[in-house]
Amino acid sequence: MATLPLDGLTVVAIEQAVAAPFCTSRLADAGATVIKVERPEGDFARGYDDVAKGQSSYFVWLNRGKQSVRLDLTKAGDAADLEKLIAGADILVQNLKPGALDKLGFGIDALAERHPTLITCSISGYGLTGPLADRKAYDLLIQAESGLCSVTGGPSEPARVGISIVDIATGATAYAAVLEALIARGRTGKGAHIHVSMFDVMADWLTVPLLHAEGGKSPRRLGLAHPSIAPYGVFATADGGQILISIQSDREWLRFSRDLLGDAGLGTDPRFATNLLRMANRGETDRIVAEAFGRRDTETLKAALTTAEIAFAELNDMAALSRHAHLNRITVDTEAGQVAFPAPAPQVAGERRSYRAVPRLGEHDALYRTAPKPRP
């Protein structure tokens, strides 16, 4: 197998759930040796569900290619084993409660003194300081606290984003930050100490609706419509299909009016000629589109949209994703057999990666733990 970008690097991951495991799964995919430190009972994400051949879908997805070591860090011998692991590591990723590592003798400042080339990345809910720094935080809680739920869902009530978007976004942010730190260390020889807060990640991602609110135009929940572009939403076809379209420019609106709506005059109509006008007259805009779409069956409409080069999508469910022509999968080994799921998105020309197995709990204890001494 070809050498991977992070071959030769060692990562110690004191992690659980989703955010940190997402980050370290990508480091493992890139070739790093990721030593996952688990409680004696294991990462609690192992018990989230049982749909992946009797195993947790979350755990199988986010822990491929890692090594599992059980340590009870309240015990001196296990803490000593962790110190050995960190001494040989390039990167430490952790998402314990703020202050937990300090109490165990592994505070970030102390680690920096002992291991000046070490890159540490700590993930928390609200950061190290501030009034909520000590509060427990999970994905949906941050969705609510950050305001994400207020701009998600239909007009009647807020909703949760349908995946663990906060955890995933935080893990991806942490991964990017670790890679930046590796590049910097290659130039300076010095480690780095990174902190990523789930709340900060979501606040960053919510910049556009926040600026709208601060500009006096607070976003409204619109379901499958766009808060600032029209027409941009889902419309029914004559045979019950659901097609979502997006008109991104006034030039597209001209073409759309002529080729799909059958009325070129709508392209320059003073009610619809610009996006701001279409937004001001959104109800009428959507009514005209809905009537035009309702006169065609799904396949005829898709063909017309394709010919006119108008962006569109079908409103699919997970069954449709499972059989989608563009779905790329990888297959990984687990203790219960092989599991196939969507492949990581980046594709490198001329490179086809293979993915290592999902570890069983404590599978690699013998490699890294000091053998317990027999009782006298």
- DSSP strands (E only) in 216-280: 232-236, 242-246
The pLDDT value recorded for residue 373 is: 46
- Spatial distance between the Cα atoms of 343 and 332, rounded to a whole number of angstroms: 11
Q: Which of 193, 195, 212, 226 is catalytic?
A: 226
372 pLDDT band, cuts 50/70/90, is low
Strands 329-334 and 311-314: unpaired
Question: Which pLDDT band, with edges at 50, 70 and 90, does 37 fall under?
Answer: very high
Tell me: the pLDDT tens digits for 199-231?
999 999 999 999 999 999 888 888 888 888 999
pLDDT value at residue 1? 53
Give the pLDDT band of residue 350 (cuts 50, 70, 90). confident
Backbone angles phi, psi at 341, to 5 degrees: -155, 170
pLDDT digits (tens, 9 = 90+) for 279-318: 999 999 999 999 999 999 999 999 999 999 999 999 999 9
Establish whether 226 is a catalytic residue. Answer: yes
Q: Which residues contact 118 (CB under 8 A, 6 or more apart)?
A: 86, 89, 90, 91, 92, 111, 112, 191
pLDDT band at 56 (very low <50, low <70, confident <90, very high): very high
Q: What is the mean pLDDT of the chain?
A: 93
Question: What does pTM read for this prediction?
Answer: 0.90
Tokens of 182: 């590796």
pLDDT over 90 at 360, yes or no: yes
> pLDDT at residue 375 above 70?
no
Residue 374 has pLDDT above 50, yes or no: no
Cα separation of 301 and 92, whole Å?
52
Q: What is the CA radius of gyration of the chain?
A: 25
Q: d(Cα 14, Cα 191) in Å, to the nearest integer?
A: 18
* Beta strand extents in the chain (DSSP E only): 10-14, 33-38, 66-70, 91-94, 119-124, 192-197, 232-236, 242-246, 311-314, 329-334, 337-342
Residue 347 has φ and ψ, to the nearest 5°, of: -125, 125
Specify whether the CB–CB gap between 319 and 327 falls below 8 A. Answer: no
333 Cβ neighbours under 8 A, 6+ residues apart? 356, 357, 358
Taking 90 as the threshold, does the pLDDT of residue 97 lie above it?
A: no
129-147 per-position pLDDT tens digit: 899 988 989 999 999 999 9
Question: Contact at 8 Å (CB) between 112 and 34?
Answer: no
